Amino acid sequence: MSEYHDEYESALKWAQENLSIEEIARICKKIAAKDTSGDPDGWSAERPLWAHCPRVSLIVEKLRGGSIVRQSLHRIEGFEKFNFHYSNRLPDGSYCDLSIGELRDILPENTPKEECSRNQMLSKPEARTIYELFEARFIAEVIKRMPSS
């Protein structure tokens, strides 16, 4: 196996065992950028997680398990172009939404949630490429936080 793969696996294991949901959120905010946003023109440093919900939910699912859920944005004025908002259902059944941001007061609480697989979310090459960039930045940040061996 490659040295990078070993380092990646070690960082992933360390993150699963040591990072709280709050720390995962802080790292996601820190690494989010225009080039990993689903809406680069709408992204800004003041709104770091703008249009990052697919990437953030994939990270949470990878670290905490559970499932990814999506909610339709087709009828939410100003957000129709995004199609869906993604969040997580954790193994204990609770919901976790680290990227709700501007949708917090707009997305009706009763908007139906449906499960969505990692494969569905990463089926388009562009989505996979953007996620891989986001994940690489996340892992690099985790490696900085890991204690020295």
Q: Tell me the two tokens of residue 108.
A: 């009706």
Q: Is residue 10 part of a domain?
A: no
Q: Is residue 95 part of a domain?
A: yes
Q: Is residue 5 part of a domain?
A: no
Q: What's the whole-model pTM score?
A: 0.92
pLDDT on residue 102:
67
pLDDT on residue 4:
67
Q: Is residue 9 part of a domain?
A: no
Q: Is residue 111 part of a domain?
A: yes
Q: Is residue 118 part of a domain?
A: yes
The total number of structural domains that make up the chain: 1
Q: Is residue 50 part of a domain?
A: yes
Q: How far apart are the first and last CA of the chain?
A: 20
Please report, in tens digits, the pLDDT of each residue of the chain (149 residues total). Answer: 567 679 999 999 999 999 999 999 999 999 999 999 999 998 999 989 999 999 999 999 999 999 999 998 887 777 777 888 999 999 999 999 999 876 777 777 778 889 999 999 999 999 999 999 999 999 999 999 999 85
Half-sphere exposure of 104 (CA within 13 A, CB side): 9
Q: Is residue 2 part of a domain?
A: no
Nearest to 99, CA basis, from 35, 41, 40, 27:
27
The conformation of residue 35, written as its DSSP 8-state character, comes to G
Provide the domain limits for residue 139: 15-145
